[in-house]
């Protein structure tokens, strides 16, 4: 600064130059540190099937493997010993845990079950399910479960279920498949089974037969609406929360389809509810004595005596939709995977057919007849094949849970309050260290010895409360689709 109080231009230029050089020096130093962090991180993780990058987390790997997400997740879990912390972008709150560890799953679904529920975020994703049993927690879930059990225990339930399934197979499924065979037409088998199970679900839940499975494959608006609602829920699972919420606010893309489908299908359900209420008010005694059965009427005839939501149209709507969602695509998907596995493994197909010839007598003029439950009791190998298909392709491949309070899993992984855990049953069915160990320990026995053993093992695979007994599985040398 000049004695007169003015700034010397040369000094100003020098100060600015020094500041710029200092900033550049810090920037170069920072870039160098970041570079070495990336390099070190890459060297440490080069053998990992997915890399946790600074700032962006594992997002690049997830996007790259989106088309094969199940197999990719299976490889990652195998690499990390059955449990992995999936890291999202920094400060985005998108971190979650994926596990296929039997001890972790037993802990979550049994030992510490009260601490793990759907949580508000998952319930919002499953919004179309309303307050139904598939989207409930704690006391409300327990109440619905007890009420569902009381309805299912009705002696008419199993009889009517067998009746409608047999009728649908004889009158719809077999004629459709025979027609396609004669026409030598290609068909999406999953679409056939989806229509088959949707008709069964409507009959069982609503007492209404849409007859969506026929040779001309009719298109119904409410059937499409049901499919659109399911697709939108899957879409919400994939997209970040902010993205689908933005689409919902502006009514764009899948969220617009969901809104329209939701309104249309709700109109269909409420119309069925209103019709059943009118029918019940006119002839309650006749309905109680009738041989036919449907869950909607059964719920109405046992109105809630505790003053809760049990008798409202909203409760009936949520219950009906949840039951239909649980019984449609899940069964259709399971049947499709089972037949695909059998078709690609001729030796298994041969053994199934041999067992049927020995245990189920069919006359030449009854080849299109449908067997009942009792006729199928002795088909042990068929039952085992179904169990194996469920193991390889579970109808619910993943099951998200939210921790109410912070907790530590048996594997040592820490779960924060409101943290998300995804139970990955698809990977659990492919854990060689679990299945091979049991196959070896039971290798001295020649196959299944009793129907009770089959039922227990099937329960282990197909139920979400399946684990906790290490080494209880059914892989045998005489039956394997792998």
For residue 173 the two structure tokens come to 């499924």
Residues found in the chain: 482
CA distance 223 to 143: 30
| pLDDT at residue 301 in the model | 77
CA distance 213 to 209: 10
Identify the burial level of 7 via C-beta atoms within 10 angstroms of its C-beta, where 0-12 means exposed, 13-18 middle and 19 or more buried: exposed
Work out whether the CA dihedral 25, 30, 31, 32 comes out positive or negative: positive
Identify the burial level of 129 via C-beta atoms within 10 angstroms of its C-beta, where 0-12 means exposed, 13-18 middle and 19 or more buried: buried
Label residues 180-209 b or e (16+ Cβ within 10 Å = b).
eeeeeeeeebbebbbbbbbbbbbbbbbbbe
Q: How many CB atoms within 10 Å of residue 373? A: 12
Secondary structure class of 364 (helix, strand, coil): helix
Query: How big is the chain by its Cα radius of gyration, in Å?
Result: 29
Q: How many CB atoms within 10 Å of residue 259? A: 14
Beta strand residue intervals within 345-411, DSSP E: 398-403, 407-408
Comparing C-alpha atoms, which of 71, 72, 70 is closest to residue 58? 72
Comparing C-alpha atoms, which of 273, 318, 319, 315 is closest to residue 297? 273
Q: Which residues contact 30 (CB under 8 A, 6 or more apart)?
A: none
Quickly list DSSP for 225-294. HHHHHHHHHHHHHHS-HHHHHHHHHHT-HHHHHHHHHHHHHHHHHHHHHHHHHHHHHH-HHHHHH-S---
Secondary structure class of 110 (helix, strand, coil): helix
Query: Do residues 156 and 346 make contact, with C-beta atoms less than 8 angstroms apart?
Result: no
Q: Which residues contact 134 (CB under 8 A, 6 or more apart)?
A: 126, 322, 325, 326
CA distance 449 to 211: 41
User: Quick one: angle between helices 329-343 and 189-206, nearest 10?
Assistant: 140
Query: Do residues 293 and 154 make contact, with C-beta atoms less than 8 angstroms apart?
Result: yes
Largest Cα span, the chain:
120
In angstroms, what CA-CA distances link 401 with 66, 122, 420, 466?
22, 8, 6, 15
Q: What pTM value is reported for the model? A: 0.77
- In the block, which residue shows the tokens 């396609």? 180
- In the block, which residue shows the tokens 């091979």? 436
pLDDT in tens, the chain (482 residues): 555 555 566 655 665 655 666 666 666 667 666 655 555 555 455 566 777 777 778 777 777 777 788 888 888 888 888 899 988 888 777 889 999 999 999 999 889 999 999 888 889 999 999 999 888 888 888 888 888 888 888 778 888 888 888 889 989 999 999 999 998 888 899 899 999 999 999 999 998 899 999 999 999 999 999 999 999 998 898 888 888 999 999 999 899 999 999 999 999 999 999 988 888 777 766 655 555 678 888 888 776 544 455 568 999 999 999 999 888 878 888 999 999 999 999 999 999 999 888 887 665 555 556 667 777 788 888 988 898 898 889 988 888 999 999 999 999 999 999 899 999 999 988 887 777 544 444 444 444 444 433 333 433 443 333 333 333 333 333 344 55
Work out whether the CA dihedral 451, 470, 468, 395 comes out positive or negative: negative
Kind and range of the H or E run holding 423 = strand 420-424
CA distance 402 to 422: 9
């Amino acid at each position: 600064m000049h004695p007169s109080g003015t700034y010397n231009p040369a000094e100003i230029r020098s100060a600015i130059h020094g500041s710029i050089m200092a900033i550049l020096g810090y920037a170069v130093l920072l870039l160098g540190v970041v570079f070495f962090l990336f390099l070190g991180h890459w060297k440490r993780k080069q053998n990992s099937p997915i890399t946790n990058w600074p700032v962006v987390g594992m997002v690049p790997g997830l996007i790259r493997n989106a088309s094969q997400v199940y197999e990719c997740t299976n490889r990652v879990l195998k690499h990390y010993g059955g449990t992995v912390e999936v890291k999202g972008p920094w400060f985005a709150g998108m971190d979650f845990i994926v596990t296929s560890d039997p001890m972790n799953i037993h802990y979550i679904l049994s030992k510490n079950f009260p601490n793990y529920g759907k949580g508000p975020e998952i319930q919002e994703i499953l919004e179309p399910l309303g307050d139904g049993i598939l989207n409930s927690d704690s006391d409300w879930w327990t109440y619905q479960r007890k009420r569902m059990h009381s309805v299912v225990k009705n002696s008419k339930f199993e009889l009517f279920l067998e009746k409608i399934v047999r009728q649908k197979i004889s009158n719809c499924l077999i004629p459709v498949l025979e027609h396609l065979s004669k026409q030598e037409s290609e068909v999406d088998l999953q679409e056939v089974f989806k229509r088959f199970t949707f008709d069964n679900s409507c009959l069982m839940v609503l007492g209404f037969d849409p007859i969506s499975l026929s040779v001309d494959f009719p298109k119904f608006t409410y059937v499409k609406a049901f499919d659109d609602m399911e697709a939108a829920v899957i879409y919400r699972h994939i997209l970040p929360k902010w993205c689908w919420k933005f689409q919902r606010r502006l009514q764009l893309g899948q969220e617009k389809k969901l809104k329209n489908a939701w309104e249309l299908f709700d109109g269909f359900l409420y119309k069925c509810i209103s019709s059943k209420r009118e029918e019940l008010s006119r002839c309650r005694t006749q309905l109680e004595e009738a041989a036919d059965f449907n869950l909607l009427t059964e719920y109405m005839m046992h109105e809630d005596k505790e003053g809760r939501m049990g008798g409202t149209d909203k409760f009936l709507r949520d219950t009906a939709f949840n039951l239909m969602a649980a019984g449609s695509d899940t069964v259709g998907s399971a049947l499709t995977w089972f037949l695909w596995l059998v078709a690609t493994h001729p030796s298994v197909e041969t053994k199934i057919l041999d067992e049927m010839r020995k245990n189920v007598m069919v006359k030449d003029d009854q080849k299109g007849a449908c067997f009942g439950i009792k006729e199928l009791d002795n088909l042990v190998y068929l039952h085992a094949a179904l169990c194996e298909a469920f193991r390889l392709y579970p109808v619910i491949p993943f099951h998200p849970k939210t921790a109410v309070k912070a907790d530590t899993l048996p594997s040592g992984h820490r779960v924060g309050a409101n943290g998300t855990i995804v139970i990955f049953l698809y990977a659990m069915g492919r854990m060689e260290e679990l299945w091979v160990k049991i196959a070896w320990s039971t290798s001295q026995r020649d196959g299944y010895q009793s129907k009770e053993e089959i039922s227990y093992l099937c329960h282990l695979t197909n139920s979400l409360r399946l684990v906790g007994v290490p080494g209880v599985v059914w892989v045998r040398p005489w039956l394997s689709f792998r």
